[in-house]
Amino acid sequence: MAAKKRTSRVSNAFSAKERPGPADAKKATAKVTGDLKRKPGRPKADHNLKRTTILSDPDLMRQLKQIALNEDCHLYEVVNEAFRDHIKRKG
């Protein structure tokens, strides 16, 4: 005997024609919010910096963050200054 195919109550309540596709849903949302020209994703950065990942001693990072806090500047500025000083000494 063949087993009955299980169906969801929700899927039985709507036919495939009534469900909007992703593009239609996006258009409907844009109409409601009034945001018709918004592009997806994060806007392009307007700086000339290179994103990097480094491995560092946690205590050293705490010290760098404290220096940045004391000098009221960003952590990347402190790190760049340290890089420049190191290159001057070794260069």
Q: Which residue has the higher pLDDT, 74 or 37?
A: 74
Q: Of 82, 87, 90, 88, which Cα lies nearest the Cα of 65?
A: 82
Percentage of the chain with pLDDT > 70?
Answer: 76
Question: Domain coordinates of the chain in residue numbers?
Answer: 58-90
Q: Which residues contact 30 (CB under 8 A, 6 or more apart)?
A: 36, 38
Q: Which of the given ranges, 18-22, 34-38, 49-53, has the highest pLDDT on average? A: 49-53
Average pLDDT, the chain: 82
Rounded CA-CA distance 31/26 in Å is 9
Q: With bands split at pLDDT 50, 70 and 90, how would you rate the model's confidence at 70?
A: very high
Q: What's the average model confidence in pLDDT over 24-47? A: 76
pTM over 0.85: no
Q: Of 22, 26, 24, which Cα lies nearest the Cα of 37?
A: 26
